[in-house]
Structure 1
Amino acid sequence: MRHMYILFVMIALISCSGPIRKVGDSTHNNSDKITSDKSLPGPDESSKTKDPSPSAKYQNQWQTYAKMPFPNNAFAIEGDQEMVFLAGGYTPAGYSKAFFSYNVATNTWKRLPDLPNPRAGLTLTLVGKYLYALGGVNQKGATKQLDIFDLDKNEWLEGPPMIQERFQHSTILYGQDIWVCGGLPSKKEVEYFSLECRSWQKGPELKYGRDSHRSVLLSGKLHLLGGKNITIQNEIASLNASKNLWEYNFQLPASRFGFFSLNYNELILILGGFRDTTATSYFGDVFLFHLSQGTMQPLKGLPSGLANFGAYRYKNQIYVFGGRNHQGIQDTVWRMDID
């Protein structure tokens, strides 16, 4: 049964189309056949799309801002100020190992050294000058892999593997540790990577498993939102650090998975996701969620229902990258500015 469920989730991704050491040089390996577009920039090359429109164009409404280098979904995304990083994913041509940076201020893409291995359903977590790429899945199955990108040296390092292989999990920097929660196939297990000790430790187990969910920090407390196991979840798991256990006191307004969340002041911005376990029905709603009050403030909905996408906030600007909907895997970058 577990293997059949993992297979279902992999289909949902693709149905629309120790010590740290340096890994092999990937800067020359830009022929991973992730796209047939011969103009796709290779490592250390840039592409720029000019946007002459004034920012008023995006005020409280979604507009197309840019195009991704190719259609993609289930990729990892992380950012710092105006710079966004996207790694891996599943494209119309298969699993990707492509790694890009994108400057939202200049609307410029840059191809960076590829991931050591292609995979989807992975995560990226930024700590100082390092990006931690954790887990994922490809045709060989789920992985425990931890790859660390040195932004100064522009190279990948191999880190200690996780305790459990997993994909469609969530990760977040919590104190001096990177917490990895849920995912498939180790859905209930939680582990964290100590940045001080450079080793993995087991965290408190979840009451029930969940994947395709989101992790957020509010007022220093860790919360897991939504996701699914056999059914879609709206129950929110909140970590009680002093008791080293999860508490379940809050709920999302609607059950969903494959969505995205962003911190917005003291609120949580919720966007899109899958409506049901068939992964064929999509949410297009966008709202600000007040967790402790259980209230929501609706915002302008996405141009279409969307899931397995990436999103990023820069100041009051919200960017949505790729994902999939009824038309297949997307390459659009949408932007909306919130008052």
Structure 2
Amino acid sequence: MRELIELVRFPFMDKMYFMEKVQTDKTLCKCCPDIVTETLRNHVFPGEVQSPRTRPRRASGLREAVVVIGGHESPSISSYTIMMTYSSTPSNASCVPVTTMRADNGHGFAVAVFGISDIILSIGGPSGNVWLYQAGLDSWSELAGMNTARDYHQVAVLQGKAYAIGGRISYSPLHITAGVEVYGRSLNKWAESVPLPQPRYRHATAVLDGSIYVIGGRDAENNPTSTVYRFNPGNSLWYAPSNMPERTSHVATAVLNGSIYVAGLHSKVLCYMPHEDVWACVAITGSGFRCSMTVFGGEIYIYGGNYDNKGISEVLWLNQQDKSLKQVGSMPKGLFGHGCVTILKG
């Protein structure tokens, strides 16, 4: 039994899944308690901030990579390219195309990291198709489609499950849903979950401390909102933390050091601290509308955005000491409405 367990890469699991399924398993804890304890104490799980001590070493064959997915160069020109870079100062040379999207259209899709290097892509539009890109194999596989097709929704991964949250069902007449579906990879099936307190689309999501946060977005009347909802899968309830300081939609989020950062506002970057239930301004300069945001090397980076109906190529680094955004690189082309995630890859 022990020899078999030593072959399992527990740090690649979602931390909450590890704690609920592995740490509580009496057989595992009895035969190899040191492995379970050492994993929880010393390893970095997907979605956690990696310190210099625990960040994957090159010798392990894994390192962080930023993946930029789809988007628009202009309102009439969509991009279906998926690019990858290992650099904190990306350039035309370091941003390498790796594949193209499996998409019916270039808008309204949602992406999230599934595990450590797989990316789940929920296609926007009437098809409801969902794809999984395995970066380690550079291959695509089609997953079960959602029960309710939607666009401008979000996908969040928690405890080994993917949640499709909110979205737009139809454009004319406008129909926005509060519906939430949850996907289990083992069964390859979507099931209805607890709906949002109110319908939302063009919102943002973040996963932190075993909860899913839904931030901003537009309501059923197409008005921007400032609401924040938090979902606890333990008791299947939605809670209402403090609202954002302003109403907005199409913002981007990233999680770092126990806080949620929000970009895509005109003149600032915001930070929500759940333990204090407080919002703060951490940068007094803004980023492009419909930008994307990720954590790389323990720092926050903002990719692209919309300026005057054109995609911008700048990659910005959040300097929290002087509350500014500094350009540190650029993408090969200007993009907005794209996805951006960080994975671990060999």
Amino acid in the other structure paired with 1:166: R
Inter-CA distance 267–174: structure 2 relative to 1 (3 Å threshold): same
Number of the residue aligned with 1:36: none
Amino acid in the other structure paired with 2:203: H
Say if 1:235 and 1:96 are closer, same or farther in 2 by CA, change over 3 A. farther
1:118-157 equivalences under 5 Å are 118-139=149-170, 140-157=174-191
- What residue is the counterpart of 1:314 in the other structure? 343
Q: Which amino acid aligns with 1:109?
A: W
Conserved in 2, the CA contact under 8 Å of 1:234 and 1:256?
no
Instruction: Please state if 1:172 is matched with 2:172.
Output: no
TM-score (structure 2 length as normaliser): 0.67
Structure 1 distance, partners of 2:76, 2:148, is: 22
Taking the aligned partners of 1:301 and 1:258, their CA distance within structure 2 comes to 16
Matched, 1:160 2:194: yes
CA apart distance, 1:240: 3.8
In the TM superposition, what is the alpha-carbon distance from 1:311 to its structure 2 partner? 2.0
Spell out structure 1 runs of 4+ moving beyond 4 A: none
Output the CA distance in 1 between the equivalents of 2:320 and 2:252.
14
Task: Check if 1:181 corresponds to 2:212.
Answer: no
User: How far does residue 255 in structure 1 lie from its aligned partner after superposition?
Assistant: 3.2
Instruction: Provide the rounded CA distance (Å) in 2 between the counterparts of 1:219 and 1:196.
Output: 23
Distance 2:245 2:76 in 1: 32
Instruction: Please show how residues 48-87 of structure 1 align to structure 2 within 5 Å.
Output: 61-70=94-103, 71-79=105-113, 80-87=115-122
Following TM superposition, by how much is the alpha carbon of 1:286 offset from its aligned partner in structure 2, in angstroms?
Answer: 1.6
**How is 1:1-339 mapped onto 2 (pairs within 5 angstroms)?**
16=76, 61-70=94-103, 71-79=105-113, 80-90=115-125, 95-139=126-170, 140-185=174-219, 187-227=225-265, 233-251=266-284, 253-276=285-308, 280-296=309-325, 298-315=327-344
Aligned amino acid, residue 131 of structure 1: A
Larger radius of gyration: 2
Structure 1 residue runs without a partner (length 5+):
1-11, 18-54, 228-232, 318-339
User: Compared with structure 1, are the counterparts of its residues 61 and 176 closer, same or farther at alpha carbon in structure 2 (3 Å cutoff)?
Assistant: closer
What's the RMSD between the two structures over aligned residues? 2.7
Measured after TM superposition, the shift of residue 116 of structure 1 is 1.4
Contact 1:129–1:152, Cα closer than 8 Å, also in 2: no
SS at match of 2:260: strand
CA distance in structure 2 between the partners assigned to 1:259 and 1:152 by the alignment: 33
Map Cα deviations across residues 265-299 of structure 1 (whole Å, 9 max, x no partner). Answer: 221121111114xxx22211123323344355544
8 Å CA contact 1:125, 1:131 repeated in 2: yes
- 2:291 partner amino acid: F
* CA distance in structure 1 between the partners assigned to 2:275 and 2:186 by the alignment: 37
The SS at the match of 1:238 is strand
Q: Is the 8 A contact 1:187 1:209 kept in 2?
A: yes
CA contact (8 A) 1:88 1:122 kept: no
Letter in 2 for 1:136: G
Counterparts of 2:134 and 2:275 in 1: how far apart (Å)? Answer: 40
Q: How far apart are 1:60 and its partner, in Å?
A: 5.0
> How far 1:66 sits from its partner (Å)?
1.4
What does the per-residue CA deviation read over 1:227-249, in whole Å, with 9 as the maximum and x for residues that have no partner? Answer: 4xxxxx23222224354232234
User: How many equivalent pairs are there?
Assistant: 254
Question: Aligned residues: percent identity?
Answer: 18
SS of the equivalent of 2:156 reads strand
Unmatched segments (≥5 aa) in structure 2: 1-71, 78-85
Alpha-carbon distance in 1 for matches of 2:280, 2:343? 31
SS of 1:167's partner is coil
What CA distance in whole angstroms lies between the structure 2 residues aligned with 1:142 and 1:108? 33
CA distance, structure 1, for counterparts of residue 237 and residue 256 of structure 2: 26
